[in-house]
Structure 1
Amino acid sequence: MKFTKNHEWIKKESKYAYIGITDYAQQQLGDIVYVDLAEEDLVLQQGDVLCAVESVKTAAEVFMPVSGMVVEVNHDLEEAPEKINESPYEAYLAKITIDDESELDGLMTEDEYNEFLESEAE
């Protein structure tokens, strides 16, 4: 699993990858009440807006950690967006194909992400 400075995670499995928001992100958002999911078959570049997550406090955009195509979205979140709060690393937002796997190299490992969070807290 890799992480971004915008608090997205990406987990590669075989030829696909899953994208979601981190535990830190869901804690900052508070109770999530709505997810505006991406369109399937949408082609996006690294840094493009993938979807939006709304909580009782605010709304946040979720960005593509890598370039690729959305092949599936997690429709369970339409009925139960709170799954992101309950299990942020299981409740993926989108399943994608990756255009350029070398983009993963520019993302943070779990240790690097934890160090990033600590430096942000200072």
Structure 2
Amino acid sequence: MKNFVVKTVANAAALFVAIWLLQDITLSGDSTGRKTLTLIIVALVFGLVNFVVKPIVKLIAFPLFILTLGLITLVINALMLLLTSWLSGELDLSFHVHGFWTAVLGGLIISVVSWALNVVLPDED
């Protein structure tokens, strides 16, 4: 349970950094508390997308991993971020990613920040 909470906090922080750095990734809300709650829910959706959908996409795209020497990971991360944005819209959350290239850069930022936070934060089951 602690591992789940740590990963959710890391995802929320990584999403926050991407929102802060890129103007085309937006999170809107009335108050700071509302934005924080929305960010945590979006982090849960993002974690769920990465847990359920990403392994299937990686399996299907395995020949592209070999062909591109792993660079297809940037595209897959961007697609997962766009899927999270779409699901957030369906769930009436105010998180939006505008454009594929913004999603590529956002996915790169989120990957780096998540990796750094997972190195720093404790990882216990």
Q: What is the TM-score of this pair, normalised by structure 2?
A: 0.26
> Where is the strand percentage greater, Structure 1 or Structure 2?
1
Larger helix proportion of the pair: 2
- If you compute each CA radius of gyration, which structure gives the higher value, 1 or 2? 2
Q: TM-score, normalised on structure 1?
A: 0.27
For CA contacts below 8 A with separation 6 or more, give which structure has more relative contact order: 2
